[in-house]
Amino acid sequence: MTDLNNKVAIVTGGGKGIGAAISMELARNGVKVVINYNTSIGSAEKLIMDIKEIGGDAYAVQADVSNLEESKKLVEEAIDHFGRIDILVNNAGITRDSTFKKLSEEDWRTVIDVNLTSVYNTTSAALSYLLESDAGRIINISSIIGQAGGFGQTNYAAAKAGMIGYTKSLALELAKSNVTVNAICPGFIDTEMVQEIPENVREKIVAKIPQRRFGQPDEIARGIIYLCKDGEYITGQQLNINGGLYM
Ligand code: NAD
């Protein structure tokens, strides 16, 4: 089992929703957390206060991770502040849903850039530091939509499926090092992303989930802790946390 005390994690989009739950759960386990945010500085600062209240340590860095230079700056600031990086959680993501016929090139590119290209940006910037760790972890937050598809979500499904292929390939390349690479594929988790879905559609989704409820952000966060703590021999995998919706 890996001792997480004083390890350092970067969580992209870590100030809100699933990312905030991941940041908090890592902090609870003794990890120092670099909380990346793009625009939501308020929630990132509030989360730092909450983490400090439970005796943890966290630091916020603004960066748009769809941009390579900003991702490099994020990693440099993490190193300047905490001196090492052991865990990279690629959590930042957006949706711009539209049926394919109406999908604009801009919404295609933005979703691919924020969800998928960001993973290249942060990983390439952080990899040399992760390789120095005795227990490096790269965890990519993909989605059930990348596995099963989603109506009106060709852009998002392509990005999230891309993250899965990326995870497997990088896991192969890094298998002889101390760095594992895995994806977590959440089902429908009760955050702003799901709260934006119209109520009548939400009801139809819940009716299809075998466990008959949305997941909670901390249920994803506990999957992260499992991979970080007990995941020495787990690499290239998809951890499905979805209430049985996709098997
Ligand atoms: P959210 O909208 O609450 O959080 C997304 C986070 O990403 C926010 O903190 C946002 O500021 C950040 N972000 C967006 N663009 C960014 C950028 N360019 N640079 C840096 N940060 C950026 O959504 P969430 O539900 O917490 O989603 C978190 C991740 O989980 C996403 O990758 C999402 O695709 C994935 N996911 C969510 C669900 C769900 O049901 N909520 C299901 C499957 C996968």
For residue 237, the model assigns a pLDDT of: 98
The domain defined by 8-189+217-241 folds into Rossmann fold (3.40.50)
From CA 170, how far away is CA 202, in angstroms rounded? 35
From CA 23, how far away is CA 21, in angstroms rounded? 6
Ligand 1 centre distance from Cα of residue 91 (Å):
6
Find out whether the beta carbon of 17 lies less than 6 Å from any atom of ligand 1.
yes
What phi, psi does 121 have (nearest 5°)? Answer: -60, -50
Find out whether the beta carbon of 66 lies less than 6 Å from any atom of ligand 1.
yes
For residue 23, the model assigns a pLDDT of: 98
Active site residue 37: no
pLDDT tens-digit series, residues 114-137? 999 999 999 999 999 999 999 999
* pTM (two decimals): 0.98
Of ligand 1's listed atoms, the one at least distance from the Cα of 43 is 9
Find out whether the beta carbon of 82 lies less than 6 Å from any atom of ligand 1.
no
For residue 161, the model assigns a pLDDT of: 99
Which listed residue (129, 156, 226, 233) is catalytic?
156
pLDDT tens-digit series, residues 166-218? 999 999 999 999 999 999 999 999 999 889 889 999 999 999 999 999 999 99
Identify the burial level of 206 via C-beta atoms within 10 angstroms of its C-beta, where 0-12 means exposed, 13-18 middle and 19 or more buried. Answer: middle
Distance from CA of residue 55 to its chain's centroid? 24
Ligand 1 centre distance from Cα of residue 92 (Å):
5
Which of 198, 189, 214 shows the shortest CA–CA distance to 17?
Answer: 189
The residue contributing the CA closest to ligand 1 atom 32 is 93
pLDDT tens-digit series, residues 65-113? 999 999 999 999 999 999 999 999 999 999 999 999 999 999 999 999 9
Ligand 1 centre distance from Cα of residue 141 (Å):
9
For residue 193, the model assigns a pLDDT of: 85
The residue contributing the CA closest to ligand 1 atom 8 is 13
Domain ranges of the chain: 8-189+217-241
Identify the burial level of 105 via C-beta atoms within 10 angstroms of its C-beta, where 0-12 means exposed, 13-18 middle and 19 or more buried. Answer: exposed
Query: For 16-44, what is the mean pLDDT?
Result: 97
Average pLDDT score, the chain: 97
- For 151: left if phi > 0, alpha if psi spans -120 to 50, otherwise beta; the answer is beta
Find out whether the beta carbon of 13 lies less than 6 Å from any atom of ligand 1.
yes
